[in-house]
Amino acid sequence: MIPPRPSVRIPPHSAMELVDKNYDPRKVEARWNSRWEEGRYFHAALPSSRPTFSIVIPPPNITGSLHMGHALNVTLQDILLRWRRMRGETVLWLPGTDHAGIATQNVVERQLAAEGLTRQALGRQAFVERVWQWKETSGGMILNQLKRLGASCDWARLRFTLDEGLSRAVREVFVRLYEDGLIYRGERMINWCPRCRTALSDLEVEHHEVAGKLYTIHYPLADGKQGITVATTRPETMLGDTAVAVHPEDARYAGMAGKRLRLPIAARLIPVIADAAVDREFGTGAVKVTPAHDPHDFEIAQRHALPRVQVIGEDGRMTAAAGSHADKERHVCRHDVVKELEAQGFLVSVQDHRHAVGHCYRCKTIVEPLVSLQWFVRIAPLADPAIRAVQEGRITIIPKSWEATYFDWMYNIRDWCISRQLWWGHRIPAWHCRACGKMTVAMKDPASCAHCGGGIEQDPDVLDTWFSSALWPFSTLGWPDETPELKAFYPTTVLVTGFDILFFWVARMIMMGLRFMDKVPFKTVYIHALVRDAEGQKMSKSKGNVIDPVEIMDQYGTDALRFTLAAMASPGRDIKLSMERIEGYRNFCNKIWNAARFVLMNLPENFRPAPLPDPAEFLISSKWILSRLHECAEFIQRDLDEYRFDQAAHRLYGFTWHEFCDWYVEMAKNDLAAEPRREETLSVLMTTFETLLRLLHPFMPFITEEIWQQLPREGETLLLAGYPTVPLKWGKKDQTAEWVIGKMIEIFTNSRNLRSELRLPPSVELDAVIAAGPMTAGTSKHWLKYAKKLARLNILEINEDADKPRGSATLILSDNDKVYIPLAGLIDVHSETQRIAKLLEKVERNLKPLEAKLSSADFQSKAPPDVVAKTRQQLEDLRSKHLQCRKELEWMNEITSTNLPEGTSA
RNA sequence: GGGCGGAUAGCUCAGCGGGUAGAGCGCUGCCCUUACAAGGCAGAGGCCACAGGUUCGAGCCCUGUUCCGCCUACCA
């Protein structure tokens, strides 16, 4: 443990102390979150004359708890928002949650079940009250987890899809769409979940391949002779068959149409019909028609006016129409029907058959297609403008490749089933008349039928949760009122989300936004990847491979997690999260922490940051780091403009660690010791580090704020300190400084390499003589002073025609520079010869392709001149190295041939 | 059945307006040098999936092929 120096400033408020050699996020994070909230720094104050930047959060389910997908999603949004906020824009990040109809109802029903209750026993009103109660006590967990991540949301504007304002928006939209004829009620084939007891939209059905069977069954003709063999994967539905269809041009079944078949088991007579929709290639070319239980058959039945026999009920059990099989669960019934068919000799064959089966997205139960009276949105008129908005570039989707998926879905979009047989959600504002049977749809709850004045009853169904989510970008801003928020922040700037809800949510928001606001809901959609585990598997509770972000934050800190996710967020690529990677960025936090310790330990008690003087007079180290910083800031700006979080993160990592810490801090140690330049160095060190903290802040808000608060500074929070933009106020690109330090680094690195190869301990200081070209010799005075500390070199001479001291190793560098390191007594001729031979080999390896290239006439004439020039330059440099290597070897040879005994120093 | 994405160092991934392959982690060697051993210094390690083509020149562009993912779809 290092004893604190008297000069170390430890502000009284600090919980984290500089003497701590390791950064401990637990001591830091909670405090800053509450400070930021107290300061209301996340609040977007209106009116504002500054540019605005707004994002609505993809509202997480109130039943949810934070997973890695949220963590990634929130991190990326927060980076954008903190960045823009620091740039002085009026930034709104609107947070909220989603009432998640089915999921929430399931949770509360499970609770009731544990108490021996059902929602039916409780009654609708009491049940809904109970869900609200649950929401108030348990529905906010995920919000606290978002805060833990550092999400800089405007918490004062928190919304909920079922709150009063949003409910009003939902009702307004429903009524207007109904009046415009875009919402209708009708009897259609829909997807029904027998467990959730509700209709589902097409999107809420997940298709999974399952190993099923293909049963072929013989249906005899009414007279008992011959007949038709059909194939099915669902034999239990035969009880509801009302026809068998064949293709009209199928020679095998010529003349069959119009005849009657006797349906086995049920012993009903059903007709053979001809329909062109039948695929002659599949199975036997004849298909049983079950209009009540298959979407395809439903359509055939409509064309041929076939009756519907519903044999499977909403509970997934067979109905009375199934005769002796009534009341059996549908899969039990399948088994029994097959047995019965077999016993009676109607079962022809059973084959293995893989096919996709629809499952409920929420409870994974196999979905049952049922004919049902439901509410639908007529979608084509809404889809058209939404397609155009993207085609015309009013909305940009990033990465662009997702546009194709978007278009594909939008072109083939089908009407949206929006009614759900649930109690938790927005109740459909439609009333059915008991007298005339007509419907009243109204903004205000009607007392009687609008058509005949008769008694009415409200439709029992609620709306699909996604219906309210589709309004999110404007309903949350106060629509249908014309609020200042709506005026200032709609359209929102960017939507950040995962591709899994592109159809569910993004497309629908675009359609609704255009319909009701007449403007796109967001200008850019940034689509990020899915977070998978280290093996590339989708994380799921059932697989047990979930990495819990909260645990990661506990263990490694929020900043490490955020930085990991940002660094791995390359566009169009899933993230395979690994602990090693998180640990690496935890180490990065520690590096930053220790850099801060170095800076603060060196600041005098009363240090006040002052504007930097004219950099023309600066030390080469100062010029260099400011130049590098400038470039870093420039790239970050470009990366963030292009949503390249990964590139920005890598850039910051590289600059911080490998330029600032590895080289600048090391040079600064020397500069600080030399009195005349102490002031300058302190200023540059401070300025660079402080700027770096600003650059890092959107990625790592906690550690940067913690450190920044301990620096001598102006302003109350780093959150509102400006973001560095180029050109920076001080410092600029300095090609000369970069060249000179680049040369220094080459010399130091090569000599360290020599030391390492020759196993010379770092403690041994080596002499060096440098035979340098004019450029190197002329500028060396700027960095010679660093040689002792950074390379443990004692440079005796640097000169254009310095002689090689006897018994030296030679470092052969670019620009025809050579470094001689006398090693008398330390190294023998043999190993030095080997070392040079190895280098020669490497140079030759690189030389060959270059020579081949330059000797090609085509290359000379067809390649662009700058490429030719560059290549020639490279070749020249390599050639001079090559020559130098050969000279060294010859020289070595001469020594050995003058009969120096083996092992003698060269 | 359609569509999209991927295949680059042991692992995870960058690099894709073509110009002698990069990072992090891991690995090897040497170092407890007063910011940091969660560290420093140095190093090893790649026919850029395969086969053709375009080009002076191809991870990068084109055409196939083979494996992986994912999305989408009413073949009973």
Q: How does strand A260-263 pair with strand A268-274?
A: antiparallel
Identify the band that residue A253 occupies on the pLDDT scale cut at 50, 70 and 90. Answer: confident
* Per-residue pLDDT band at A661 (split at 50, 70, 90): very high
Mean pLDDT of A682-708: 95
Strands A522-528 and A462-463: unpaired
Confidence category of residue A439, pLDDT binned at 50, 70, 90 = very high
φ, ψ dihedrals at A160, nearest 5°:
-140, 135
Of all nucleotides, the one whose C1′ comes closest to residue A1's CA is B34
What is the Rg, in whole angstroms, of the alpha carbon atoms belonging to chain A? 38
| Cα→Cα distances A318→A289, A312, A314, Å | 18, 4, 9
The CA distance from A298 to A698, in Å, is 56
Q: Using the C1' atom of nucleotide B18, identify the protein residue whose alpha carbon is closest.
A: A863
Which nucleotide's C1' atom has the smallest distance to the CA of A534? B12
Binned at pLDDT 50, 70 and 90, residue A533 comes out as low
CA of A309 to C1' of B54 (A): 64
Distance A508 CA to B38 C1' (A): 47
The pLDDT of A666-688, averaged and rounded, is: 90
Task: Provide the 3-class DSSP secondary structure of residue A273.
Answer: strand
Identify which of A471, A374, A460, A370 has the alpha carbon closest to the alpha carbon of residue A417: A374
- CA–C1' A714–B69 (A): 51
Is 90 exceeded by the pLDDT of residue A590? yes
Q: What is the pLDDT of residue A538?
A: 65
Identify the residue whose tokens are 């209106």: A46
Closest amino acid to nucleotide B22 (CA–C1'): A650
User: Residue A832's pLDDT is what?
Assistant: 80
Does pLDDT of A14 surpass 60?
no
Res A847: pLDDT: 86
The tokens describing A379, both together, are 């979608």
Compute the Cα dihedral for A25, A31, A35, A41 and give only its sign: positive
Averaged pLDDT, A561-573: 88
The Cα–Cα gap between A298 and A588 comes to: 62
Mean pLDDT of the A718-740 span: 89
Q: How far apart are CA A795 and CA A784, in angstroms?
A: 7
Say how far A631 CA is from B42 C1', in Å. 28
- Is residue A233 predicted with pLDDT exceeding 50? yes
CB A397 within 8 A of CB A520: no
pLDDT band for A486, please (50, 70, 90 cuts).
very high
Q: List the single protein residue with the shortest CA to C1' distance from B69.
A: A536
Distance A401 CA to B76 C1' (A): 35
How far in angstroms lies nucleotide B37's C1' from the CA of residue A22?
12
Strand order in the sheet with A793-799: A793-799, A766-771, A818-822, A808-812
List, in sequence order, every residue forming a beta bridge with A419; answer none if it has no partner. Answer: A463
Q: Which nucleotide does the CA of A289 lie closest to, via C1'? A: B76
Residue A734 scores a pLDDT above 70: yes
Residue predicted with more confidence, A727 or A424? A424
Q: Residue A753: which nucleotide is closest by CA–C1'?
A: B42
Contact of A731 with A627, CB cutoff 8 Å: yes
Is the per-residue pLDDT at A76 higher than 90? Answer: yes
A840 CA – B54 C1', rounded, Å: 37
- Across all strands, nucleotide nearest A650 (CA–C1'): B23
For β-strands A818-822 and A766-771, DSSP reports them as antiparallel
Residues 6+ away with beta carbon under 8 Å from A542: none
Torsion of CA A471, A472, A476, A482, to 10 degrees: -40
User: A312 - beta bridge partners?
Assistant: A318
Q: Which residue is nearest to nucleotide B26 (CA to C1')?
A: A580
Query: What's the mean pLDDT in A511-526?
Result: 95
Residue nearest to nucleotide B13 (CA to C1'): A568
Q: Are A794 and A868 in contact (CB under 8 A)?
A: no
Distance CA A499, CA A506 (A): 9
From the CA of A409 to the C1' of B21: give the distance in Å: 40
A120-147 in b/e burial notation, b at 16+ Cβ within 10 A?
eebeeeebbebbeebbeeebeebbebbb
From the CA of A656 to the C1' of B29: give the distance in Å.
Answer: 26
Q: Is the pLDDT of residue A903 over 50?
A: no
Strand B nucleotides, any atom under 7 Å from protein beta carbons: they are 3-6, 11-15, 19-20, 23-26, 29-31, 33-43, 55-57, 69-76
**Which nucleotide is closest, CA of A579 to its C1'?**
B25
Query: Nearest nucleotide by C1' from A874 CA?
Result: B20
The per-residue pLDDT for range A775-818, each reduced to its tens digit, is 999 999 999 999 999 999 999 999 888 888 888 888 988 888 99
Please list the residues that pair with A796 across neighbouring strands: none
Q: How far apart are CA A19 and CA A2, in angstroms?
A: 7
The amino acid occupying position A800 is E
DSSP string, A365-376: PBPEEEEEEEEE
pLDDT digits 0-9 by tens, A96-121: 999 998 889 999 999 999 999 999 99
Q: Give the CA-to-C1' distance from A39 to B13 in angstroms.
A: 39
Percent of chain A with pLDDT over 90: 54
Given a cut of 60, whether residue A448 has pLDDT beyond it is yes
DSSP conformation class of A856: -
CA at A879, C1' at B56: how many angstroms apart?
A: 22
Lowest mean per-residue pLDDT among A157-171, A532-546, A594-608, A664-678? A532-546
A166-180, A658-672, A866-880: least confidently modelled range: A866-880
pLDDT at A115: 92
Q: Is the Cβ–Cβ distance between A9 and A605 less than 8 Å? A: yes
Hey, what are A26's tokens? 């637990």
d(CA A672, CA A649): 30
Residue A354 CA to nucleotide B60 C1', Å? 40
Which DSSP symbol is given to A502?
Answer: I
pLDDT category of residue A2 using cuts at 50, 70 and 90: very low
Reported confidence tier of residue A224, pLDDT bands at 50, 70, 90:
confident
Residues A191-213 pLDDT 10s: 999 988 999 999 899 888 888 88
CA–C1' nearest nucleotide, residue A761: B30
CB A770 within 8 A of CB A820: yes
Supply the DSSP string of A182-230, one letter for each residue: -EEEEEEEEEEETTTTEEE-GGGEEEEEEEEEEEEEEE-BTTSSS-EEE
- The region of weakest confidence among A41-50, A511-520, A576-585 is A576-585
More confident residue, A906 or A585: A585
Confidence (pLDDT) at A665: 96
The torsion angle over the Cα atoms of residues A79, A80, A81 and A85, rounded to 10 degrees, is: 100
pLDDT at A12: 40
Nearest residue by alpha-carbon distance to C1' of B68: A536
A825: pLDDT strictly greater than 70: no
Using the predicted structure, report yes or no on whether residue A3 has a pLDDT greater than 60: no
Q: Are residues A267 and A253 in contact, defined by beta-carbon separation less than 8 angstroms? A: no
Q: pLDDT confidence of A535, banded at 50, 70, 90? A: low
- For A390-411, how does the pLDDT look when each residue is reduced to its tens digit (9 = 90+)? 999 999 998 888 888 898 889 8
Question: Is the complex ipTM higher than 0.85?
Answer: yes
> Shortest CA–C1' contact from A535: which nucleotide?
B12
Nearest nucleotide (C1') to alpha carbon of A355: B75
What is the pLDDT of chain A when averaged over all its residues?
Answer: 88
Q: Are A409 and A434 in contact (CB under 8 A)?
A: no
Q: How far is the CA of A590 from the C1' of B36 (A)?
A: 7
Query: Which burial class, exposed, middle or buried, applies to A669 when counting CB atoms under 10 A from its CB (0-12, 13-18, 19+)?
Result: middle
Distances (CA, A) of A426 to A108, A158, A468, A474, A792: 17, 19, 8, 17, 75
DSSP letters, A722-741, are: PPP-SSPSS----HHHHHHH
Q: Which residue has the tokens 């690994």?
A: A578
Is the pLDDT reported for residue A573 higher than 50? yes
Find the Å distance, CA of residue A878 to C1' of nucleotide B55.
27
C-alpha A636/C-alpha A650 separation (Å) is: 10
- Has residue A902 got a pLDDT over 50? no
Mean pLDDT to the nearest integer, A251-273 = 87
Q: Nearest nt (C1') to A557 (CA)?
A: B38
Phi, psi values for residue A736, rounded to 5°: -65, -50
Read off the pLDDT of residues A622-657 as tens digits, 9 standing for 90 and up: 999 999 999 999 999 999 998 999 999 999 999 999
Cα A230 from chain centroid (whole Å): 48
Q: Which helix (H) or strand (E) holds A859?
A: helix A857-862
Whether the Cβ atoms of residue A547 and residue A581 lie closer than 8 Å to each other: no
- Is the Cβ–Cβ distance between A253 and A247 less than 8 Å? yes
Q: Of A841, A868, A866, A870, nearest to A855 (Cα)?
A: A868
